[in-house]
């Protein structure tokens, strides 16, 4: 099990106070990593910290930061390192989705979705790379993509474009930063049961569409992502970079 051990590692997870981000941070902690979680809501962060530390023997540090402010990410990342120590693993999970038909999407909505989902991911990855270079030790970046890295559906054009960008950013950084021994990979979740999808699950037509197109016949549970995350964060994936692993119940494999 040493191959998958995260003991002695520190992982930073964006969007770690709720939903998939919380499940990922909690999973890393339960597999031995100390975790740093970033979100905007200070109360939600404190609640997440309490839950993570009560379910593991790991330390959880919390930082409130708005990823809309990409110009200050480098400074913020340095503050995290000063307080929490070296960051070995970066999980770019924070993301937003604003629905609307493409012909009606405003430039402001377009820019906001790309700012959070893609630009902030790039800026955080840059800060992580500079940090790891400064101590001359490699690291692991795991980006959270989507089925929309590979496919599209109506009413989510900005989200689809941003996640397609995340996939290509993963490949670009993997190729460029391999010389620093930084592995860059991604996870592509399918349709998952979270607070953000409760409204979609309550829509009988949409729910049936999801279930009928998922060979395993259910919505994903956030904990379904943890095994892949631990693999990509640990020494088990040291020769894996530039890849995306879809955790989608077979969605993309089905016609």
Phi, psi of 172, rounded to the nearest 5 degrees: -60, -45
Catalytic residue among 159, 180, 191, 246: 159
- pTM higher than 0.85, yes or no? yes
Q: Report the 10 Å Cβ neighbour count for 206.
A: 14
The distance from CA 24 to its chain's CA centroid, rounded to whole angstroms, is 8
Six-digit token string for 103: 């012909």
Q: Is the dihedral of CA 32, 169, 38, 137 positive or negative?
A: positive
Tens-digit pLDDT profile for the chain (255 aa)? 789 999 999 999 999 999 999 999 999 999 999 999 999 999 999 999 999 999 999 999 999 999 999 999 999 999 999 999 999 999 999 999 999 999 999 999 999 999 999 999 999 999 999 999 999 999 999 999 999 999 999 999 999 999 999 999 999 999 999 999 999 999 999 999 998 899 999 999 999 999 999 999 999 999 999 999 999 999 999 999 999 999 999 999 997
By CB atoms closer than 10 A (0-12, 13-18, 19+), residue 252 is: middle
Per-residue pLDDT at 1: 73
* Cβ pair 7, 39 in contact under 8 A: no
Query: Domains, the chain, ranges and CATH?
Result: 2-253 (3.40.50.720)
* Cβ pair 112, 98 in contact under 8 A: yes
Helix then strand then coil, in percent of the chain rounded to 5, is 55, 15, 30
Per-residue pLDDT at 196: 85
Question: What is the crossing angle of helices 19-30 and 226-233, to 10°?
Answer: 60
Residue 180 catalytic? Answer: no
Per-residue pLDDT at 255: 76
């Amino acid at each position: 099990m040493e191959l998958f051990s995260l003991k002695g590692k520190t992982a930073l997870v964006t969007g770690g106070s709720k939903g998939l981000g919380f499940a990922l941070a909690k999973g890393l902690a339960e597999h031995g990593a100390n975790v740093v979680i970033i979100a905007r809501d200070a109360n939600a962060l404190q609640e997440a910290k309490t839950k993570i530390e009560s379910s593991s023997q790991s330390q959880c540090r919390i930082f409130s930061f708005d990823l809309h402010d990409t110009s200050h990410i480098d400074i913020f990342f340095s503050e995290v390192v000063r307080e929490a120590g070296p960051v070995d693993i970066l999980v770019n999970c924070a993301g937003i989705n604003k629905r609307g038909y493409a012909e009606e999407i405003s430039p402001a909505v377009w820019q906001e979705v790309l700012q959070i989902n893609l630009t902030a991911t790039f800026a955080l990855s840059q800060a992580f790379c500079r940090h790891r270079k400064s101590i001359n030790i490699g690291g692991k970046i795991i980006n959270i993509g989507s089925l929309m890295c590979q496919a599209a559906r109506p009413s989510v054009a900005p989200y689809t474009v941003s996640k397609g960008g995340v996939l290509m950013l993963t490949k670009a950084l993997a190729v460029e930063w391999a010389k620093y021994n930084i592995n860059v990979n991604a996870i592509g979740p399918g349709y998952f049961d979270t607070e953000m999808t409760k409204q979609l699950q309550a829509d009988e037509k949409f729910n049936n569409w999801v279930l009928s197109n998922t060979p395993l016949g259910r919505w994903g549970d956030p904990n379904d992502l943890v095994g892949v995350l631990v693999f990509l964060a640990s020494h088990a994936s040291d020769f894996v970079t530039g890849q995306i692993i879809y955790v989608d119940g077979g969605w993309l494999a089905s016609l």
